[in-house]
Chains A and B, each alone.
Chain A
Amino acid sequence: EAQVTQNPRYLITVTGKKLTVTCSQNMNHEYMSWYRQDPGLGLRQIYYSMNVEVTDKGDVPEGYKVSRKEKRNFPLILESPSPNQTSLYFCASSSGVGSPLHFGNGTRLTVT
């Protein structure tokens, strides 16, 4: 089954403790991206990657890092999480920019 898998689904952590949210897709997609979604603010793109070893900042990249060492994986790294990063995060992939996106089920992160 074609899918985008994010882990974990829920994460509660404390300020400053580094964490990684994993994202993997099995569709051989070139394009992958991360979003955060907060009440009343819609989807905001954090980072995106158009192919292996190619990443670019989205609208809200501050406080986040990503890497794209393999085509299928696109982890989101929070080196020093802060409470304002409490949010619902989505990973998505597509065959190319502008092609329909496939989204994961989301990761709800709480930073205390």
Chain B
Amino acid sequence: LAKTTQPISMDSYEGQEVNITCSHNNIATNDYITWYQQFPSQGPRFIIQGYKTKVTNEVASLFIPADRKSSTLSLPRVSLSDTAVYYCLVVDWGSNYQLIWGAGTKLIIKP
């Protein structure tokens, strides 16, 4: 059964780059890794998804090493509005496609 582990919390400052890492052992070779952002009392919002190497979109980058046992969400030049909880997600194809969520990383951006 796949499992995901991510830090409980992180602090950073406006303008810095923030990297949040998720460990996910036992993921299948065809699993995508997906990251979501959640603000208080709102539903999570999709940020980025990747399969291997590096993916970049307008808000973030996702780095996945060759062994795919971890992934790193990179937020460039964060602002106060990036304060949120960030979740990584993988699909456990071996367990009837159950979604395996990380516990979430609470990111606090300071001025």
Residues of A within 8 A of B (CB): 4, 33, 41-45, 48, 50, 56, 58-59, 88, 90, 92, 97-98, 100-106, 108
Contact = CB atoms under 8 A, between A and B. Distances in A.
Contacts, number: 56
B32 interface: yes
25 contacts: A33-B99, A41-B103, A42-B103, A43-B44, A43-B87, A45-B98, A45-B101, A48-B98, A50-B97, A56-B96, A56-B97, A58-B99, A88-B41, A90-B43, A90-B44, A97-B97, A97-B99, A98-B31, A98-B32, A100-B34, A100-B49, A102-B46, A103-B44, A103-B45, A106-B41
A101 B41 contact: no
Nearest to B47: A100
A4 to B, nearest CB: 8
B36 interface: yes
A45 B87 contact: no
Nearest to A40: B103
Given A42-B87, A42-B102, A101 B42 contact: no
Contacts of B44: 43, 90, 92, 101, 103
Interface of B: 31-32, 34, 36, 41-46, 49, 87, 91, 96-99, 101-104
Contacts of B42: 105-106
A102 B91 CA distance: 16
Contacts of A103: 43-45
Nearest to A41: B103
A50 B102 CA distance: 22
Given A42-B87, A98-B91, A100-B34, A48 B99 contact: yes
